[in-house]
């Protein structure tokens, strides 16, 4: 069965790759991925899936279910397809979508002879919008037993974790005045931002290794001859531990309080999207690893730090994996122009098909071995205690 599924994925290779390139050429930001969602839905519908659009109250989310359903593991393969501002698909979500469709369409002709349920979930806005979290809240993950997806990278990794993240916006309010003739009558909101960054830089020595607090000034004033009466900054606070992430958010708030006090300004501290740290299922990861290695992608020792993903929240709801597959030689930093080019290369095409095959084979293993599925579930339950 595996050989037949893999042969079918090879037959679909050109179609799947064209889909990846089409999404790459039309990058759309989170919750605006109307073209990508339509193209993916159409490909799955033509492959025999029953597609429901706009699930979870999200216009660009979808659920595609193969009609051949029977008792057994309910498996969700997740697709991401949002792009980054200005950089386009510099995180390779066009490949993630193509991999998901490739795996699903490869399995589709044989699903009537297989137990369980096969679902493809289209999950918008991973880059800061938390589409998967909204689908969790809408109950879509109560209808599946486990979830998987594969991310392109410059390494092949199978049990890589992620950092919990909280987005923070800090606004400062001062008083405008002429910056040269009457500066003493103003309250400089930009000074409060700068003091916040100074306090944060002093804090860095005293936070755990691997944790991150990084930010940008989003508003610093309008002209040099006007004392800024409004200034703002945006931060991402990250840690491998959800609770410690929350502790760091509290410390950042104290830096903002100190900055506001020093400048004599008022401030407003608000949080945006929050992702949990991912908990990769080791049994599931090992199963996937056997297949991706057999396809010529040996699992590597990880280098570099961790990012964040709303797949972390999924991993607290159901057993999940979020492996990475190498798309080219050497180092290619994510969220860069170089990575945006790499995800439409021949190396990316080859890696995408391999990842689709590895996910499909992992599904076959789970459907074919109740013992394996039980071990996956037992590990997940043990971690939740």
DSSP string spanning 133-186? HHHHHTTGGGG-SEEE--EEESS-BSS----EEEEEEEEEE-B--BTTT-GGG-
First-to-last CA distance in the chain? 37
Residue 385 pLDDT class (50, 70, 90 cuts): low
Instruction: Say whether pLDDT at 384 is over 80.
Output: no
Q: Give me the CATH topology for the region 164-275.
A: Alpha-Beta Plaits (3.30.70)
> Tokens 């994996």 appear where?
321
What's the Rg (C-alpha) of the chain? 23
Distance, CA of 225 to CA of 3 (rounded, Å):
71
Helices (H) and strands (E) in the chain, counts: 12, 12
Token representation of residue 65: 């279910």
What is the tens place of the pLDDT at every residue in 233-288? 999 999 999 999 999 999 999 999 999 999 999 999 999 999 999 999 999 999 99
Supply the pLDDT for residue 304.
Answer: 85
Supply the pLDDT for residue 42.
Answer: 98
Query: Residues in the chain, how many?
Result: 385
Residue 301 pLDDT class (50, 70, 90 cuts): very high
User: Where exactly does CATH 3.30.70.360 map onto the chain?
Assistant: 164-275
SS3 81: coil
Instruction: Say whether pLDDT at 67 is over 80.
Output: yes
| Residue 78 CB partners (closer than 8 Å, separation 6+) | 96, 100, 120, 121, 123, 132, 147, 148, 149, 311, 314
What is the tens place of the pLDDT at every residue in 130-165? 999 999 999 999 999 999 999 999 999 999 899 999
Contacts by residues 286-291 (CB-CB < 8 Å, ≥ 24 positions apart) = 286/158, 286/159, 287/362, 287/365, 287/366, 287/372, 288/148, 288/158, 288/321, 288/323, 288/358, 288/359, 288/362, 289/158, 289/159, 289/323, 291/357, 291/358, 291/361, 291/362
Instruction: Give me the residues paired with residue 233 across strands.
Output: 170, 217
Residues 222 and 260 sit within 8 Å (Cβ to Cβ): no
Distance, CA of 203 to CA of 185 (rounded, Å):
32
Mean pLDDT for the stretch of residues 109-122: 98
User: Where exactly does CATH 3.40.630.10 map onto the chain?
Assistant: 2-162+278-384
Token representation of residue 90: 């510099």
| % of the chain beyond a pLDDT of 70 | 100
Domain 2-162+278-384 has CATH 3.90.1170.50: no
Identify which of 20, 273, 25 has the alpha carbon closest to the alpha carbon of residue 125: 273
Q: What are phi and psi of 262, to 5 degrees?
A: -65, -40
Supply the pLDDT for residue 383.
Answer: 82
Instruction: Say whether pLDDT at 297 is over 80.
Output: yes
As a whole number, the mean pLDDT across the chain is 97
Instruction: Say whether pLDDT at 19 is over 90.
Output: yes
| % of the chain beyond a pLDDT of 90 | 98
Residue 305 pLDDT class (50, 70, 90 cuts): confident
Q: What is the pTM of this model?
A: 0.90
Token representation of residue 14: 């050109």
Token representation of residue 346: 């021949």
């Amino acid at each position: 069965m595996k050989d037949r599924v893999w042969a079918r994925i090879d037959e679909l290779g050109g179609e799947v790759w064209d889909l990846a390139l089409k999404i790459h050429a039309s990058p759309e930001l989170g919750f605006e991925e109307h073209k990508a969602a339509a193209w993916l839905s159409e490909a799955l519908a033509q492959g025999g899936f029953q597609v429901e659009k706009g699930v979870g109250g999200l216009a660009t989310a979808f659920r595609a279910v193969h009609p051949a359903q029977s008792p057994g593991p309910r498996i969700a393969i997740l697709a991401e397809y949002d792009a980054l501002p200005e950089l386009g698909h510099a995180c390779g979500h066009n490949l993630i979508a193509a991999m998901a469709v490739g795996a699903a369409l490869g399995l589709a002709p044989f699903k009537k002879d297989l137990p369980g349920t096969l679902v493809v979930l289209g999950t918008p806005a991973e880059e800061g919008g938390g589409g998967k979290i909204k689908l969790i809240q809408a109950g879509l993950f109560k209808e599946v037993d486990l979830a998987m997806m594969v991310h392109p990278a410059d390494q092949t990794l199978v049990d890589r974790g992620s950092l919990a993240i909280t987005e923070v916006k800090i606004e400062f309010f001062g008083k405008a005045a002429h910056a040269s003739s009457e500066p003493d009558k103003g309250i400089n909101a930009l000074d409060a931002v700068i003091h916040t960054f100074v306090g944060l830089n002093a804090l860095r020595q005293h936070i755990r290794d691997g944790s991150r607090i990084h930010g940008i000034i989003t508003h610093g004033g309008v002209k040099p001859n006007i004392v800024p009466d409004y200034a703002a900054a945006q931060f991402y606070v990250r840690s491998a531990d959800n609770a410690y992430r929350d502790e760091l958010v509290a410390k950042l708030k104290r830096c903002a309080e100190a900055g506001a006090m020093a400048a004599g300004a008022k401030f407003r501290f608000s949080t945006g999207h929050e992702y949990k740290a991912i908990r990769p299922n080791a049994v599931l990861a090992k199963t996937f690893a056997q297949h991706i290695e057999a396809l010529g992608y040996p699992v590597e020792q990880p280098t570099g730090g961790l990012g964040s993903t709303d797949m972390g929240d999924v991993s607290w709801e159901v057993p999940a994996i979020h492996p990475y597959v190498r798309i080219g030689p050497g180092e290619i930093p994510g969220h860069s122009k170089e990575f945006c080019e790499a995800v439409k290369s021949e190396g990316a095409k080859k890696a995408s098909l391999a990842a689709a095959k590895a996910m499909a084979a992992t599904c076959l293993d789970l459907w074919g071995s109740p013992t394996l599925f039980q071990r996956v579930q037992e590990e997940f339950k043990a971690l939740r205690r």
